[in-house]
Chain A
Amino acid sequence: MPDIKITPLGAGQDVGRSCLLLEIGGKNIMLDCGLHMGFNDERRFPDFSYIVPEGPITSHIDCVIISHFHLDHCGALPYMSEMIGYNGPIYMTHPTKAIAPILLEDMRKVAVERKGESNFFTTQMIKDCMKKVIAVTLHQSVMVDSELEIKAYYAGHVLGAAMFWIRVGSQSVVYTGDYNMTPDRHLGAAWIDKCRPDLLITESTYATTIRDSKRCRERDFLKKVHECVAKGGKVLIPVFALGRAQELCILLETYWERMNLKYPIYFAVGLTEKANTYYKMFITWTNQKIRKTFVQRNMFDFKHIKPFDKGYIDNPGAMVVFATPGMLHAGLSLQIFKKWAPNENNMVIMPGYCVQGTVGHKILGGAKKVEFENKQTVDVKMSVEYMSFSAHADAKGIMQLIQNCEPKNVMLVHGEAEKMEFLKSKIKEEFKINCYMPANGETCVISTPVKIPVDVSLSLLKAESKMYNAQPPDPKRRRLIHGVLVVKDNKIILMELKDVFMEYGINKHIMRYTSKVKIDDPGPKLRVAEKLFNILQEKLSEWVVKFQENGKIVVESVEISIEDLSSSGMASTSDTDTSQSQSQKNICVTWNNQDEDLGSYILNLLHNIS
């Protein structure tokens, strides 16, 4: 039983810094290469020394697969490729390849220019890293080498997000990355076919949540925003530049239009224009509705949403501002937060998950005072709202995906341990399959049955199917196949016996047994044979019993014939009384070695008759 081994370097019972090592069929694959937003030291990067304590890493990894452009999935990639020195192939979808470098550059600026960090990757390193990327399209079968095949499926989490199916030989794994099972305003739902992987590695961010309908959440969001601006408050919505931001923009844009509102909405992302261009060019990755209407009206051309200028922070009056980054851990969103937090009229809406250690996580936990590195503290008087708009699958969605692809084992990553436990028991209960949830650095070994591909001679299959089809249809009937497996030059062929003897010039040796049973029956030979034939037909109902003209009964290689004892040259000499020879007959049974069980059964049967 060959094994599949998985070791999370990140995202093991944890959200943030997704990075898994997968060993399958002798290949080593890194799934995502993310960054932990909650740390500012080396802990933010995966522990690459786990792979190899020292020396080049390239020979230890066959390929890296990036599921989507979020930094907790690709943020450590330039570090790995340019600073650790990985030169092998990196796979991601076209939109991810287009957008990831922008987010990486954004993060680099925040880290280096605002926080003054050193030992961080440079702009050039990001560029060099992206040169190593091979872009893939959905459902395209990519052969990484002659044995390793990967294929991307639509994940619907952000633009270009993909799940990856990975196969070596007959073993396969699906890694979901982050995904969403319900279509939203700009993306479609994740989809996978019944690919029956040996292992499904799924995210479990919302392992215990069954989210209410999307529509309710949207209405709630709009109501809160509207109420706040109506009383003159300012609304801060920390977002990541691409993804949820676009969905919320579409939402507010249509609401503002419908309600004829005039409060300013600003988008402080710096790359609004660029971001929307990407959405326009990769419109094939958005949902059905947007794709259908894009020629007439591009959903990403916003009328009410204007670019933000830092000077607006202190502007009086109501406004709505989208600002990056999404977890209030640095940058403009944090800057705005510091200004607006002390005013109870204002509001911050956290539309996504915040990892531990970020300001976002703290205020969601109810912190009324937030402390910063420079001993500066900020009172949080503004209202803090959490709205789950993160496009992750909820418990129902995860179960749905398991049902869709029918894995033999499930592994939960990218979630919190307690929640995982709950989901794990649910999965075991409902699908009766194993479920794993390794912690970071813990290797999980899953043994999988392999099936061995074998070439089979068509005549052998045809003979079987002829025999099978000749019988009355019965779905329970077992189809027996019998042949000779030939192993030659590393090839395995299943052939018919006669072909094997011919093809390889082997001398068959036929071994035959003959035994006799005496019976007392005065009737003529033919009559006795008929009697026997009837008995055998009844007893050997599963077999074809043939009665030949010369009185011989044949079952497979077993032949039964009757001889008058007097005329038999083979008559025994010791314990027979020759005077009664007229009614005594010998039943002669002969069979090939291969039919030993059948032959000895018949012989035994005849003994009992006589």
Chain B
Amino acid sequence: MKLYCLSNDLAKSCFVVSFKERLFMLDCGLTEQTVLNFLPLPLVQSSKLSTLPNYPPFLEIKECCGRTFIDSAPEFGTPSEKMVDFSEIDVIFISNYLNMLALPYITEGTDFKGTVYATEPTLQIGRFFLEELVEYIESAPKASSASFWKDMLNLLPPPLSDAYKPKNWKQIFTMKDVNNSVARVKIAGYDEKLDILGVLQATPVSSGFCLGSSNWVLTTSHEKICYVSGSSTLTTHPRPINQSALKHADVLIMTGLTQAPTVNPDTKLGELCINVAMTIRNNGSCLIPCYPSGVVYDLFECLTQNLENSGLANVPMFFITPVADSSLAYSNILAEWLSSAKQNKVYVPDDPFPHAFLLKNNKLKHYKHIYSEGFSTDFRQPCVVFCGHPSLRFGDAVHFIEMWGNNPNNSIIFTEPDFPYLQALAPYQPLAMKACYCPIETSLNFQQANKLIKDLKPGVLVIPEQYTKPHPSTPTLCIDQPQDKKVITFKCGEIIKLPLKRKMDRVYLSSELAQKIVPKEVVTGVNLSTITGILHVKDNVSHIVPCDEAEAAEITYKCPSREDLLKKVKYEYGNLDIELFMKKLQQDGITDARLERNTGGQGTSFTITIPSEDTVVKIEENSTHIVCGGKPSLRLKLRDFLMKCIQNF
């Protein structure tokens, strides 16, 4: 079993595992941080951005606020294509919607022919993320696309000069690619046992991180591999993590730990609410860059409550994304995927998320874009705007920064940890509006991960190398190396061998065959029985059924087949009971049998001679040799006797 690491983004993984001569891809994450190297895409032409000086000698690189940016349609880091042949991948398992955004590149851009599995919310919400990305970028088209710089990294200043494999960066796919790609995804439910080509059973189990997020458990009759990605032990809106399903794995691959390990999401949520309230009191407005689903649902809930408590109940909230309506609508029909508190609401019946109520009361309004019908009439300040994209390189957020950036009463609050906020803000400097960083990251932190690992007791733990290195500011933040467990680390671009030695497989005995088996206790507690059967292999599942019954005819005249031979076979063990054998000879009237004991050489041996039948039987501790010069019928008789004087199974 081998693990190929195709992504260099710890939070947006992509692995390929080879197992039982098949290739399985685990997640298909898109590295979006690359877009921070590009100039923002404003909805209306910005005089500032269009008059930036070049960074010589490049015409496609601009200088802005003391940094360099690529003046081009943004590009994304995609899974490495050099390590595996995508056409040979049999199945892709997706763990959550944040980890499937490179899927169109794989399904539409390569010869991939396999199957993709994801849960229903992962598929639906993943589609929203993909559609949003495409719409954002297509709604502010860029004529140019830059590529010269990729060959001249040494001429560029950091961070561009440190770009990781920029030739792997790609422009966004089309809406058609998105539609075709999601159409290929097969839906799986939590705890559904999927038969994967008869080779293994795959089960997505709840990971507690976001709607429909799952960890994958791959099992065969004797091996268990768990892939843990994007998990949370906190209580938010999704179904809680199913830990017991992950226990005692032979191999546990763990990734997607928190990107903000030093902060507590609850504290940051509190800070966010305080910041929003302060901004509003100062007559300013708040911009919260966000994704179209996920923590944003919790923010709606917490923030309204908090504003109400602060006497600011009438502050309007706007949720602006091309998929706002679908995202809000879907969140309230996925009851089966929610925490039990939310789930129980549908039995009332009541909408599981309070934002349904906020929408009815016009406290929360949603629009596809700022230029959508109704927005300009409804829009009033101060207000709170939730909108994308968290990178601040495209989407309506770009517009709000340009509009609100000069006013120190306004604020921008970062909650998504995917992008370093200072880098996100870099092209907008100098900025008067306040910027707060309140990352609300619910995935496992190191402490929680260490506890989880301790509980799960995996045979081998496989983690990215970075997780074993202490965090620069807080040295305790890393994955502990358990003394008794094996830990294997990997780096991006590496292929590592996982120590999973397969020794056993599973077959099924038919009841007809089983009924014929009479096990014999050969050693205390160990019962043995030699069996011969016909192996039927169908869909990679093996069954053993009995051989045909022996024909009654005398088989000595017909050449026996291997099957004829084997189906009767038993194996002798232990010592021959010589006394009994002599007695049997006597009883049969063979009176001239003579027993001799030979000592010396290698231990004791015996010789029985029967002169009348020209036969000698030599008996040693572990062997008996019958040299028979007489009639075949006599030999068969002797054989009969011998079989009664020795044990077999």
Contact = CB atoms under 8 A, between A and B. Distances in A.
A432 to B, nearest CB: 20
Interface in B307-366: 325-326, 329-330, 332-336, 343, 346-347, 349, 351-352
A515 B628 contact: yes
A454 B565 contact: no
A141 B217 CA distance: 13
Interface string A478-498: 111111111111000110010
Given A98-B347, A455-B506, A497-B571, A511 B624 contact: yes
* Majority-rule SS of A interface residues: mixed
Interface in A425-454: 449-454
B555 A593 contact: no
Interface stretch (A9-17, A114-122, A280-288, A341-349): A280-288
B569 A142 contact: no
Interface residues of B, number: 96
B507 A509 contact: no
A516 B190 CA distance: 71
Contacts of B329: 294-295
B27 interface: no
A513 interface: yes
Interface stretch (B11-19, B465-473, B514-522): B514-522
Contacts of B570: 594
A488 B532 contact: no
B625 to A, nearest CB: 5
A94 interface: yes
B51 interface: no
Given A515-B628, A594-B571, A597-B555, A486 B623 contact: no
Contacts of B143: none
Given A141-B193, A481-B535, A504 B523 contact: yes
Contacts of B571: 484, 497, 508, 594
Interface string B529-560: 11111111100001110010000000111111
Interface stretch (B68-76, B131-139, B255-263, B497-505): B497-505
A455 B543 CA distance: 12
B48 interface: no
Interface stretch (A205-213, A305-313, A356-364, A537-545): A537-545
A215 B573 CA distance: 76
A90 B569 CA distance: 52
Contact of A479 (B189, B334, B537, B627): B537
Interface string A488-525: 11000110010011001111111111111000000000
Given A510-B624, A542-B562, A604-B556, A487 B534 contact: no
A603 interface: yes
B504 A600 contact: no
A480 B639 CA distance: 27
B523 A454 contact: no
A284 B573 CA distance: 65
Given A509-B622, A570-B627, A281 B335 contact: yes
Interface in A563-596: 570, 572, 574, 593-596
Contacts of A458: 502-505
A274 B347 CA distance: 10
Contacts of B505: 455-456, 458, 461
Contact of B531 (A277, A461, A494, A574): A494
A489 B525 CA distance: 7
A1 interface: yes
A97 interface: yes
B339 to A, nearest CB: 14
A598 B349 contact: no
A510 B623 contact: yes
A481 B534 contact: yes
B333 A511 contact: no
- Most chain B CB within a 10 A radius of its CB, from A138, A508, A593, A604: A593
A504 B522 contact: yes
Contacts of A101: 347
Contacts of A494: 507, 531
Contacts of A507: 573-575, 621-622
Contacts of A597: 555-556, 560, 564-565, 568
A409 to B, nearest CB: 16
A455 B221 contact: yes
A451 B623 contact: no
Interface string A387-411: 0000000000000000000000000
Contacts of B32: none
A452 B573 contact: no
A481 to B, nearest CB: 4
A139 interface: yes
Nearest to B349: A277
Contacts of A595: 565
A483 B624 contact: no
Q: How large, as a class, is the contact surface on chain A?
A: 35 or more
A511 B352 CA distance: 77
Contacts of A514: 625-628
A102 to B, nearest CB: 9
Contact of B635 (A140, A493, A515): A515
Nearest to A597: B560
A278 interface: yes
Contacts of A98: 346-347, 349
A493 B573 CA distance: 20
A513 B523 contact: no
Given A98-B346, A449-B511, A488 B559 contact: no
B360 to A, nearest CB: 13
B506 A453 contact: yes
B188 interface: yes
A186 B117 CA distance: 26
Nearest to A489: B525
A506 B573 contact: yes
Interface string B615-649: 00000011111111100100110010010001001
Given A295-B326, A489-B525, A453 B534 contact: no
B162 interface: no
Nearest to B543: A451
B403 interface: no
Nearest to A479: B535
A464 interface: yes
B511 A140 contact: no
A598 B629 CA distance: 18
Contacts of B190: 137, 140
B535 A454 contact: no
A270 B370 CA distance: 42
B561 A542 contact: yes
A280 to B, nearest CB: 7
B66 to A, nearest CB: 45
Nearest to A573: B614
A486 B334 contact: no
A508 B542 contact: no
A601 interface: yes
B152 interface: no
B537 to A, nearest CB: 7
Contact of A508 (B189, B222, B528, B622): B622
B326 A454 contact: no
Interface in B161-211: 188-193, 203
A322 B627 CA distance: 97
B643 to A, nearest CB: 8
Contacts of A534: none
B646 A484 contact: no
The 8 closest A-B pairs by CB, nearest first: A451-B508, A479-B535, A487-B527, A139-B192, A597-B560, A509-B572, A510-B623, A140-B191
12 contacts: A137-B189, A295-B330, A453-B221, A458-B505, A482-B569, A484-B649, A487-B527, A506-B522, A509-B622, A514-B625, A598-B560, A604-B557
Interface of A: 1, 94, 97-98, 101, 130, 135, 137-142, 151, 170, 274, 277-278, 280-284, 294-295, 449-458, 461, 464, 478-489, 493-494, 497, 500-501, 504-516, 539-543, 570, 572, 574, 593-598, 600-601, 603-604
